Amino acid sequence: MILRRSRLRILIAVCLLAAAIPALAQSPQSAIYGDQTLSVGGVFNATHLQYGEHWVLGAGAFVDANLTWHYGIEGEATWSRWHEQSDTYATTYLIGPRYRFTGFDHYRFAPYAKFLIGDGTFNFPYNLGTGNYFVMAPGGGIDYRWKPRFDLRLCDVEYQIWPQFTFGAIGNVSLSAGLRYRIF
């Protein structure tokens, strides 16, 4: 009887140890970091300025901090200074919430929506003046997972609303594409 009990105890201990072995397959990164990521990137952009009705080209940089799988914060700066007419150009520094849509993960696509606010600097024709204005920019886009740490920003579209512009509210459209690198 005592021998059976000790065998039963040994059998239970072996079963418990065998059941714990699959727990060793847990990734330490996902256990520590979760869905939080930090990415930086650069873009080439084209902005249609409503003031003067023309397109200016430029470059930009952005930072994406994803707090969860869906929600994050994006900050961006764009310098639209090429192909300007009469020295008319715009620069924006924006930040705001970003929402990533799911259901496209096995296709490597990551569509998102965002609403950014911040400062816009506008240089008037012939350098007659420069003004800083409040800017709101609802928009969205789609990223494509190219490599494990690199994404292609296929398209990013913003409708920039400058409500306090000197000559009345204007709305600029900004299109951009570029490359994004995931730091962690």
Domain-located, residue 15: no
* Domain count of the fold of the chain: 1
176 φ/ψ angles, rounded to the nearest 5 degrees: -150, 160
**CATH number of the domain within which 80 lies:** 2.40.160.20
Domain-located, residue 141: yes
pLDDT given at position 13: 64
Q: How far apart are the first and last CA of the chain?
A: 58
pLDDT given at position 7: 66
Domain-located, residue 1: no
Domain-located, residue 68: yes
Structural domain including 46 reads: 36-182
Measure the CA angle with vertex 56, ends 54 and 61; round to 5°. 145
pLDDT given at position 32: 47
Residue bearing tokens 């239970």: 12
pLDDT given at position 116: 96
Query: 44-70 burial, b if ≥16 CB within 10 A, otherwise e?
Result: ebbbbbebeeeebebbbebbbebeeee
Domain-located, residue 129: yes
Q: How far is CA 143 from CA 71, 105, 154, in A?
A: 15, 11, 6
Domain-located, residue 172: yes
Q: Which amino acid is residue 120, in one-letter code?
A: G
Domain-located, residue 23: no
Query: pLDDT by residue for the chain (184 residues), tens digit each?
Result: 555 566 666 766 666 555 555 555 544 444 444 578 899 999 999 999 888 888 999 999 999 998 888 899 999 999 988 877 788 889 999 999 999 987 766 678 889 999 999 999 988 888 888 888 999 999 999 999 999 899 999 999 999 999 988 888 888 999 999 999 999 8
Domain-located, residue 18: no
